[in-house]
Amino acid sequence: MTAELISGTEISKAILEEIKQEVNEMKDKTGKVPGLVTILVGENPASISYVTLKVRTALNLGFNEIQDNQPEDISQEDLLALIDKYNNDPEINGILVQLPLPKHIDDKKVLNAIDPDKDVDAFHPVNVGRLMIGGDEVRFLPCTPAGIQELIVRSGTETKGAEVVVVGRSNIVGKPIAMMMAQKGVGANSTVTIVHTGTQDLATHCKRADILVVAAGVPNLVKPEWIKPGSTVIDVGVNRIGKNEKTGKAILRGDVDFAKAKEIAGKITPVPGGVGPMTICMLMRNTLRSAQRSM
């Protein structure tokens, strides 16, 4: 059997179209569009390319997008003042500070200075707490976990009562997706296990997963024989395993042995083209929801 491919590329395109439509409706009704500011400190090439992609996506959707570039040597005080300015700007619904920040800046202090109601990355402790409580408390879901849940739901995978095993317990992927899948409600209501480097028998846990979410950052960590036949496998891992000699581009692999796993799983995400494209898409949706709430 060959698994059905869950294409993040296709699903994210569909969601971006939905967002565009909602933005147009908002503009027609209120004359306003969502406002997003992306703050980039310094000239880290990877950060520049991430920010460029976010800015391009926001502009394509018709958002009011401000790209605020600051020099590498900006003081923490000035950066905090800048965030305060955007916190108080009614035209701005989402504030995104691109990480990493230079060493002389305490990134925790900066992220915690963002108004939780404009924290579209959902890294602020208030939003982490709201996620834990669930239901109406939730303002924003963190972007990568939200993208993972969307892939699970839109692939038609039943989540209610499903055994979900999450490999990894990071604050940006493992812990939040585990919490989200355990909540009562649509697209969740699962029985969740989190495994990590302290887990004694990774294989046994993975083998009983109806939905296996792998976010470890270790290429080929999950062996094909650990996969339950017919299960849904979401591979979050992005590992650079070499360079394509012709194009010079990095060769990317996930945490799952995709070639063999796709013969066992029922549905599976590829790397690249799985979870990756969903993250920006969810950032845009968070900004749209923030704008809708502010009206």
What residues act catalytically?
Answer: 54, 98, 121
Quote the least distance from Cβ 45 to ligand NAP, whole Å.
17
Q: Please pick, from the candidates 90, 135, 198, 248, the single residue that binds ligand NAP as defined by CB under 6 A.
A: 198
Length of the chain: 295
The single residue listed with the structure tokens 């909540």 is: 183
Are 110 and 76 in contact by the 8 Å Cβ rule? The answer is: yes
Q: Under the criterion CB under 6 A, does residue 127 sit at the interface with ligand NAP?
A: no
Taking alpha carbons only, the member of 217, 196, 209 closest to residue 268 is 209
Quote the least distance from Cβ 213 to ligand NAP, whole Å.
10
Q: Which stretch binds ligand NAP (CB under 6 A): 48-56, 97-105, 172-180, 205-213?
A: 172-180
Per CB under 6 A, contacts with ligand NAP among 20-49 are none
Quote the least distance from Cβ 77 to ligand NAP, whole Å.
29
Q: Under the criterion CB under 6 A, does residue 270 sit at the interface with ligand NAP?
A: no
Helices (H), the chain: 8-30, 45-60, 76-87, 107-113, 125-133, 143-154, 174-182, 202-207, 258-261, 276-294
Tokens coding 9: 């590329």
Tokens coding 78: 């000035």
Nearer to ligand NAP, 1 or 53 (CB): 53
Nearer to ligand NAP, 7 or 294 (CB): 7
Q: Please pick, from the candidates 34, 145, 176, 276, the single residue that binds ligand NAP as defined by CB under 6 A.
A: 276
Q: Under the criterion CB under 6 A, does residue 165 sit at the interface with ligand NAP?
A: no
Per CB under 6 A, contacts with ligand NAP among 49-108 are none
Quote the least distance from Cβ 177 to ligand NAP, whole Å.
10
Q: Please pick, from the candidates 20, 32, 154, 169, the single residue that binds ligand NAP as defined by CB under 6 A.
A: 169
CA count, 13 A, side-chain hemisphere, 152: 30
Nearer to ligand NAP, 101 or 291 (CB): 101
Contact mark string toward ligand NAP, 204..243, x via CB under 6 A: -----------xxxx--x--------------xxxx----
Number of residues located near ligand NAP, criterion CB under 6 A: 25
Q: Which stretch binds ligand NAP (CB under 6 A): 33-41, 54-62, 123-131, 170-178?
A: 170-178
CA 264, 265, 266, 268: dihedral to nearest 10 degrees? -140
Nearer to ligand NAP, 46 or 295 (CB): 46
Beta carbons within 8 Å of 74's beta carbon, 6+ residues apart: 41, 105
Angle in degrees, CA 176, 137, 95, rounded to 5:
70
Tokens coding 177: 């997706």
Q: Under the criterion CB under 6 A, does residue 167 sit at the interface with ligand NAP?
A: yes
Helix (H, G, I), strand (E, B) or coil at 97: strand
Residue 248's region, left for phi above 0, alpha for psi from -120 to 50, else beta, is: left
Q: In what order do the strands lie in the sheet with 35-41?
A: 64-70, 35-41, 94-97
Q: Under the criterion CB under 6 A, does residue 3 sit at the interface with ligand NAP?
A: no
Q: Under the criterion CB under 6 A, does residue 174 sit at the interface with ligand NAP?
A: yes
* Residues forming beta bridges with residue 41, ordered by sequence position: 70
Residues forming contacts to ligand NAP in the complex (CB under 6 A) are 144, 167-170, 172-174, 195-198, 202, 215-218, 221, 236-239, 275-276, 279
